[in-house]
A and B are shown apart, each in its own frame.
Chain A
Amino acid sequence: MRSRLPVLRQRRRYMVFVLESEDDSGMVQARDLMGEIASSQLSLFGDSGAAANRLRLISFDGQIGLIRFSHQHLAETRAALAAVSSIRGIKAAIRTKGVSGTIKSAREKYLPRLVKLSFESDGRRIEQKDISGCIIRTHGVKVDLCPDDRYKSAGSGARFLGLTSLDLCGGHEDADGTADGL
């Protein structure tokens, strides 16, 4: 709600976050994400807490987002975002990157480091003694694997196994490209 007097205007903070999820396409809808965040906030702090915080999603492109909240509710906002564990039944996590006082400074400070975020789709297979399956995607040394035995990942309700190329061939952490050990 816009105040008529500038001195009565509430101070705001802007938080940049990155969404990490098991979604194959990597494109979660902004409406679904905001629904989950609002539900998490309402469930944790109730109607009065949600009204005091005035959480709004400013922008979201499928992976990186910017959220606005009241400057006195930083811890509450962190808790509300941390309590989101799935979006429309797909396992997800919201990783907070930083908080700033204006949209401009939030983008300048935290977005340049997040330029390389696109996942590569992959069609290769892993065949090892303990583990076998199709590689869903790779990102640097991170590898998401869809196991042939679905019960392998039943431990935490996840669809994919989270591995690294270090697990698969003992490659170096800084390895990339063809030297990723796959």
Chain B
Amino acid sequence: MSYFELAGCYPEGSSSASRMALTARSLGWGGIIILSRDPDGIFMPGAAFKVKGIEVAFGAEAHAQGARALKSRIGSLSSRYPFVAVQGSSEETVRMASEDPHVDLLFHPCDIRHPLGIAAARAAAQNQVAIGFDLSPLIHLRGQARSRWMEALRHNLDLVRKFHIRPAITAGAASHLELRSPRELMALAGVAGFEADEAREALCWPGRVLEKNRRNWAGPGVEIL
């Protein structure tokens, strides 16, 4: 099973989708999922598919003002894109996203003042929503800010283990210079508190979800062949 990375691209980031795919391929990734709040506005998405030797997919990051608007946005995006992620910016968003089975991945901000709650973790486990750990603060922060972030991450990781939720790991890259290789990301995850097997599984997980979501499901457990 190959490793998959989740990344942003231009215009939200500073590298085009094809440059991200090219760099990810040279770093040893088997696939890359380009996440964007506005997937229709991505610069030259077709060029990314011309990069051979790496699987490229475009996913959507659902973003809205209120919980109700977010729910309808998730519903519309899940029918159009094979991968839907939500940035858990507030407790309301986290709760809503963890209760929606259309959400594939919920990024939790790892803030010690707003840790992942037990109710949200239980709901995420029931609805098969994975919890995403963006390791970019480990790269960009220093000192006390980073130690607080690591403390919050360990707390969230304990809940993820307790409720058997799938974790996902990403470097949160928005530029090709922010991409890291799978081995580097596993080493960083080890520093953050992940076991080696957990980190490896977390890097493979997006590929498996992508494969499942691309199949034609008529209902829960019913596939049209």
Report A's interface with B, CB cutoff 8 A.
Answer: 20-22, 43-44, 75-76, 78-79, 81-83, 85, 91-93, 95-96, 130-131, 141-142, 152-156, 158, 160-164, 166-167, 170, 172-173
Contact = CB atoms under 8 A, between A and B. Distances in A.
Contact of A91 (B44, B47, B177, B191): B177
B52 A173 contact: yes
A163 B175 CA distance: 10
B43 interface: yes
Given A43-B142, A156-B174, A82 B44 contact: no
Contact of B47 (A85, A131, A160, A167): A167
A21 B178 CA distance: 11
Contact of B176 (A44, A82, A162, A166): A162
Contact of B187 (A79, A152, A155): A79
Contacts of B159: none
A125 B44 CA distance: 18
B14 A161 contact: yes
Interface of B: 8, 10-16, 18-20, 22-23, 26-27, 43-44, 46-48, 50-52, 138-140, 142-143, 146, 173-181, 183-188, 190-191
Nearest to B192: A79
A161 to B, nearest CB: 5
Given A93-B178, A95-B181, A163 B13 contact: no
Contacts of B190: 75, 79
Contacts of A130: 11, 43
28 contacts: A20-B177, A75-B186, A75-B187, A75-B190, A82-B139, A83-B139, A85-B178, A93-B177, A93-B180, A95-B27, A96-B184, A131-B43, A141-B22, A152-B10, A155-B14, A156-B8, A156-B13, A156-B175, A156-B178, A158-B175, A161-B10, A161-B14, A162-B14, A162-B19, A162-B20, A162-B176, A164-B16, A172-B50
Contacts of B143: 43
Contacts of A20: 177
Contacts of B183: 78, 96
Given A82-B180, A82-B185, A162-B14, A170 B43 contact: no
